[in-house]
Amino acid sequence: MEHGGQRILVVEDDGDLSGLICLTLEAEGYDVVAAPNGAVALTEVERHGLPRVILLDLMMPVMDGVEFVQRLRESFGSIPGTHIVVMTARGDVKKCAERLQAHDILGKPFDISDLLSVVARHATG
């Protein structure tokens, strides 16, 4: 299935998980960019603009997901047209997601089918 090159930013410090997510989404026709932490992700967005979907881990070294979203909103305002999906194993994920105004949550571990469903919903919505 082709998704018209819709850009997905994967912000995840676990290289194996990030690689699996990227390969899976690329096979579905998405244009996928990976960043190992919020600082690298912020640089990516500043250089290439906002993606359609950001798959965001909360707990990362250098710059965590919460700080990334705060800095992103400082730079871009309300970030219209970009959907943030929080990926985390943290127990208080709903509270964090609400505070970040995330559009969705993927609890770790998640099934590939759940990943594809969430991304498809937000890439087109």
Name 5's Cβ contacts closer than 8 Å, sequence gap at least 6: 29, 30, 31
Mean pLDDT in consecutive groups of 10 residues from the start of the chain, 125 residues: 75 95 95 96 92 91 88 82 84 70 86 94 84
Nearest to 10 by CA among 96, 92, 85, 122: 85
CB atoms inside a 10 Å sphere around CB 61: 10
Q: Output the pLDDT for position 63.
A: 86
Q: Output the pLDDT for position 59.
A: 82
Q: So what CATH class is 7-124?
A: alpha beta
Q: Output the pLDDT for position 18.
A: 96
Q: Output the pLDDT for position 24.
A: 96
Q: Output the pLDDT for position 109.
A: 87
Q: Output the pLDDT for position 19.
A: 96
